[in-house]
Structure 1
Amino acid sequence: MTTLPPLPDMILEPLVRAALLEDLGTNGDITTRTVIAAGTQYRARIVARQSGVVSGMQLARLAFGLVDPSLHVRILIDDGNSFAAGDELAVIEGEAASILSGERVALNFLGRLCGTATMTADFVARTEGFATRITCTRKTTPGLRLVEKQAVLHGGGFSHRFSLSDAILIKDNHIAAAGGIASVLQAVRERASHMMRVEIEVDDLDQLQQVLDQGGADVVLLDNMSTPMLTQAVTMNGGRLILEASGNMRLDRIAEVAATGVDYISSGALTHSVGTIDLGLDF
C-alpha cells in the first residue's frame, strides 16, 4: 500500500471538467434524459473485473460531483491500495440520470490510472531486496502528466522530473549540438544555478568515464546498456554519482538490472504503454 496525501481538488477539477464537457457535448446525455424518469434514485457500485492497484479515485469522485453535487460517493478502497477481482471500489447513490452521465468519465480516469499504478507495482515488486527505485519519465499523455505521475506514486514508484524547468537533463542531442560532453559540462559549471540538479545521458562506458573525469553532473543516465555494461558502470562509478538505467526496461528484465546496483530504473512504458484495468459500474 502506498498512502499519499490527496492533491487539492482545485488542481484536478479542470481536468475532470474538460473530460465531462467533451463527453456531454453540446446537448448533454440525451439517452439518459430520454429514457430515465426525473427523480429516479439508484445505488451504483464500481466493481473490479480484475485485480490491481487503485489510482484515480479522487478524479472519479470529482466526475460524479461535478455532474451532480447531490450525489453521495462513498470510496471503499482508496488510491494506493490493492484490490482483487470482484471487489467493490466505491458506491454512488442518488439520481440515476446523474450517475449515468458521469459514469464514463469516472471509469475512464479510474481504469487508465489503475492500470498505471498496477503496472508500476509489478515493476516495483521485481526490485524487492535491492535498493533500486522505479521511476517514470515525461512520456505521458498530453494534459494528464500530473495524474499519470501520481498513479506511478500510488503504485510504489518514484517520479522523474515533472517538466523541462525542474532540472537539467542533458541528452545525446544536447551533447551533439553543444560540441561534446566536455563542452556541456563546462557550460553547466559556468551557468547553472547551484540549486539545480544536473543529469547527463551516456551511451557507452567511454562517455561515462568522460563524465566522471569532467565533473559537473549529479546523475548519469545509462541509456540502452546491456546488463553486463550496467554492472561495469556501477563499478566504474564507485558510488560517486547517482546512476539511472533507462531504455528497453521490460518487466522481465527489471530484477537483473536492479541486481547490477544502479540507483534508479526509469521506464516510459509505465505511462505510455499501460493497459486499462477493467472496471464496471453496476446498478
Structure 2
Amino acid sequence: MDLRAWCAGLCAGILGLVACGGSSGEGQSSGSPGASGSEGVGGQGQGEDIFGQGGDPLGLGSGGANGGTGGDGSNRSGCEHIDVVFALDNSQSMTEEKESMSEVVFPAFAQALLQMSGIKDFRAAVIDACPRPANFHTSGAAGDCSFQSGKPWMESASTEITREFQCVADLDSSDVECSGDSDDEQPASAAAAALEPPFSTSENAGFLRDEALLVVVAITDEDEQPVPRQDPQAIHDRLVAAKGDAKNVVLLGIGGRSECQGAYGSADEAETLQQLVDTFADDGRGFFWDLCEGRLEDGLTNALTAIEEACTEFVPIPK
C-alpha cells in the first residue's frame, strides 16, 4: 500500500488548519533502525475529503470513519477489529505535534483503518505520558469531550469521532501525580499501565477485545523515561501480556532519532523508545518515525503497513 501520495494530498487540502512540516514527496528513512524506509512518491490525492466521500483515495473499497464497513472483503485479514491507544507527551514543547495529531494524523488514520480490507471497526483511547493515573482521557483542556460511545474511549461508529479526538487530543493533565521532572514523559509505559490492573479492571475495563489487534502509538519529543526504571524488553513484555501474544501487538514510536531542531521544534534523542520499538521490529510489529523529519502523516504509512501484516497473522485469544 502506498499512502504517501494520498497523505500529500490530504496535507495540502487542510494546510489552513496546521502546517505539515515539509513535502511528502521526498524520500525519507522510516521504521526502526535497520528497517527499510519507504520511498517518497509525491503527487496529489484523489479524495475530496478525509473520509473518502469524494472518492476512494486509498483504492481499498468503500468505507468511512463515521461507521463505515471497511473494504469489500477480498483478501480478508485475520482480524476484523482494532483497538488503538494513543499515548502523547503533554509537555509544553509538544504543542505542534498535538495539533498535527488532531487535525491531520488521526482523521487520516481513522479513514485508512476502515478502508483496510476486512476491518469492521476500531476503537481509540487517548492517554498522556504519565501513568499516574493511567486512566483514559475523556476530557480535554476545553472540558468534557462527550464521547458518543458513553465509554472512556471513542468508537469508529461515532458520527463525531473527529471532533471527539480533536477535543481529547488537547490533553488535560490536571489530575496527574507526576512531578513533571521527566517522569511525565513515559508514553509507552503509560499505555502499558492503562492496559493492566488496576486500570484495566476499573476505569479502562472493557477496552481490550479478545478479537482485536492492539495498536499503541507512543509520541514524545524527549525519550521514554520509565519511573521506576525499566529496560525496553520489560515494557515490551508488559504490552504483550495485555494481548497474550506478541503477534497481536503493533507499536509505532514517534520521537527524535537524534537530538535536533526539527519541523516541530526541538527534540531529544529518543534512545530508549527506539530500543523499545526494536523489540517489536523483529516480528514486523514495530516502527519508529523520526520526529526531526516532521510529517507525522508519513509515519502513518509505516503504521498501516505493520497493521496489515499483523492482521494476517492475528492469533485470537482462546475463550
TM-score (normalised: structure 2):
0.30
Return the structure number with greater helix share.
1
Greater length-normalized contact order (CA 8 Å, ≥ 6 residues apart) = 1
TM-score (normalised: structure 1):
0.32
Bigger CA radius of gyration: 1
